[in-house]
Homo-oligomer: A and B are copies of this chain.
Amino acid sequence: MQPLSSTTKAYLAGFLDGDGSIYVRLKPNSTYKYGFQVAPYVVFFQSQKAKKLFEKLCGLVGSGYIRERSDGVIEYIIGKTDAIKEFLIAVEPHSVLKREQIKLMLEILEYRQTIKSEREFKKLMKMIDRFGELNYSKKRLKRVLTP
């Protein structure tokens, strides 16, 4: 990630609070030592209609990739551990709505490095479960965009 100005960090914190998501997926996978792949994500969402401007916004971060879904939504996905850490540390002081999720993700990424037993991996899974309480579906959100 390029060095960001304070206002760019604050802007990205605002966008993350509004239209971003922080979570970890636990994917069952027997080739992994404890039976799960741990996949952390920071994702931004936007309609494909705003693609060009959205790419400009994503360019400010630079460390993720864009995925175009079949339903007209574009996602900007930051999936690499170092990129997630760097991004979240940059925006954390400016976030108002997602501070808890940011702290939890940073704790999880830190703790994951130290795991040496199944008991410790289970503790990690419990930490990941906490996203379920902090995040909530916004599917019900219906925006009134008139006219």
Contacts from A to B (Cβ < 8 Å) = 6-21, 23-26, 43-47, 49-50, 53-54, 56-57, 60, 71-73, 94, 96-97, 128-129, 131-132, 135-147
Across the interface, A140 reaches (CB within 8 A) one of B18, B73, B131, B137, namely: B73
Chain B nearest CB, measured from A30 CB (Å): 19
**Alpha-carbon distance A142/B11, docked complex (angstroms):** 23
Chain B nearest CB, measured from A94 CB (Å): 5
Please give the count of copies of this chain that the complex contains: 2
Chain B nearest CB, measured from A34 CB (Å): 16
Q: Is the CB of A128 within 8 A of B147?
A: yes
**Alpha-carbon distance A137/B46, docked complex (angstroms):** 11
Q: Is the CB of B97 within 8 A of A138?
A: no
18 contacts between A and B (CB under 8 A): A6-B10, A13-B14, A16-B18, A17-B19, A18-B18, A18-B44, A25-B146, A26-B147, A45-B143, A47-B141, A53-B97, A56-B96, A57-B97, A73-B140, A128-B147, A131-B147, A139-B142, A139-B143
The winner among A25, A56, A140, A147 for most chain B CB atoms within 10 A is: A147
Across the interface, A11 reaches (CB within 8 A) one of B13, B21, B50, namely: B13
Q: Which residue of B lies closest to A6 (CB)?
A: B7
Contacts of A46 in B (CB 8 A): 97
The winner among A19, A73, A143 for most chain B CB atoms within 10 A is: A143
**Alpha-carbon distance A20/B44, docked complex (angstroms):** 15
